[in-house]
Amino acid sequence: MNKLRLIARLDVKNEHVIKGIHLEGLRKVGDPVELAKKYYEDGVDEIVFMDAVASLYGRNNLFDIISRACEKVFIPITIGGGIRDLNDIELALKSGADKVAINTAAIRNNNLIKEASRIWGSQCIVGSIEAKFKAKGKWEAFVDNGREETGLDAVDWASKLVDLGVGELMVTSIDMEGTKKGFDIELLHKINNSVDVPVIAAGGYGRVNHIIDLYETSKISGVALASILHYSIDTCASIKHELNINDINVRVL
């Protein structure tokens, strides 16, 4: 059985990791470099840094943080939030990131994904989808941290992103984000079934059972964890230990 990846998601605003609910009401929870190092040493499989404000104010100050983190953290690192063009991607990769996650810019300019995956390979480009429940079986894709609607159906948009060349999808449920009430299983199932690239589930993790429930319907490739780690409610090592007991294969240190 393939191994499920546990991914620590660090939303960064200025110099701090922040965390909100439904991507809003943000609170400072720590230093991004220190947290990244702590999760790395605790056995997390990947780290995703998201610039929480960049796409809204057109700022991007994450590269310096990434460079510092990459000197100490030897696992895959993704950077997202505010990636607008090929130049931003190049700077992100030069700072030490292995992949970039793109949402807003992909919607505004489909060509960006196409060009970027041709230059750096599709494994380098993660399509980031923020989805909000609309009606039974329907979700809409949002941009700017769940603030702006796009009119696009999230499941259709997922397939389109794969056609354009992303090598991976990170799907965040805005409805479940920060609630610790579990993943949007139906949304993730639908997207995971409709694409042939790995899917990362984000938004809603609260306890191990949420992963077990999700995994029963969808053999997703990874899950993103935030609140639970940032507030030290649980550790990566202990979550992995429990997953192993429940026959979900994960990497252990």
List interacting residues with another protein (CB under 8 A).
2-3, 5, 40, 45, 67, 70-72, 74-76, 93-96, 98, 118-124, 167-168, 195-199, 219, 221, 251, 253
Nearer to another protein, 1 or 245 (CB): 1
Question: To the nearest whole angstrom, how small is the minimum distance from the Cβ of residue 219 to another protein?
Answer: 6
Q: Minimum distance between the CB of residue 203 and another protein, rounded to whole angstroms?
A: 20
Minimum distance from residue 223 beta carbon to another protein (Å): 13
Closer residue to another protein (CB): 59 or 76: 76
Residue 43: both structure tokens together:
């056995």
- Minimal CA–CA distance to 78: which of 109, 129, 70? 70
What is the bridge-based pairing of β-strands 99-102 and 77-80? parallel
Q: Specify the residue, 2 or 111, whose C-beta has the smaller distance to another protein.
A: 2
Strands 99-102 and 125-135: parallel
In whole angstroms, the minimum distance from the beta carbon of 62 to another protein comes to 14
Q: Give whichever of 105 and 195 is closer to another protein, judged by the CB atom.
A: 195
Q: Just list the catalytic residues.
A: 11, 130
